[in-house]
């Protein structure tokens, strides 16, 4: 049973972090590069990206819940550092999905207009930096969890 639970922990981390890495290094850049070929397509590229973010965040939320349940069963505790880090990752993912992304969506086509309000542009840029920072933080925390889980198991 312990092997199955450790497998579940690792599978959750692989899926969640692998999704973030794929999205950040391949999907997002390829989308923007491809959409550059179409005139005035920048907002549509962003729309595609946001459509990819929702399933990525849903995957992260599912992985967080499974990780927390499996680790609680494996270690018979909910007070371990990896669990604490997963809770933070989960919270950051929820914040990004339900607070940052909707605000970016509200501004995406507004900032694409020729006579864009500079305050709206600045707000969009700030939200985008926040979104990127949140994904980066989740990735770094997740790598920390991988390190802790990969260490020799201690009871």
Q: Which token pair is 123?
A: 């707000």
Indicate whether 154 pLDDT > 60.
no
Residue ranges of domains in the chain: 2-150
Tell me the average pLDDT of the chain.
Answer: 91
Q: What pLDDT shows up at residue 108?
A: 83
Residue of 95, 94, 93, 69 lying closest to 83 (CA atoms): 69
Whether the model clears a pTM of 0.75, i.e. scores above it, the answer is yes
3-class DSSP state of 105: helix
Query: 101-120 pLDDT, tens per residue?
Result: 999 998 888 877 778 888 98
Query: 54-101 pLDDT, tens per residue?
Result: 999 999 999 999 999 999 999 998 889 999 999 999 999 999 999 999
Indicate whether 140 pLDDT > 90.
yes
Q: Is 116 left (phi over 0), alpha (psi -120 to 50) or beta?
A: beta
């Amino acid at each position: 049973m312990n092997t199955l639970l450790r497998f579940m922990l690792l599978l959750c981390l692989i899926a969640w972090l692998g999704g973030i890495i794929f999205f950040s290094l391949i999907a997002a850049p390829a989308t923007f590069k491809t959409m550059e070929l179409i005139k005035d397509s920048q907002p549509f590229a962003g729309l595609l990206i946001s459509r990819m973010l929702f399933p990525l965040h849903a995957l992260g939320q599912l992985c967080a819940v499974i990780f927390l349940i499996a680790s609680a069963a494996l270690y018979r505790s909910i007070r371990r550092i990896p669990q604490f880090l997963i809770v933070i990752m989960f919270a950051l993912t929820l914040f990004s999905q339900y607070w940052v992304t909707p605000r970016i969506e509200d501004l995406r086509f507004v900032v694409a207009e020729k006579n864009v309000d500079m305050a709206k542009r600045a707000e969009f840029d700030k939200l985008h930096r926040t979104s990127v920072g949140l994904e980066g933080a989740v990735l770094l925390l997740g790598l920390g969890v991988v390190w802790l889980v990969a260490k020799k198991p201690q009871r």
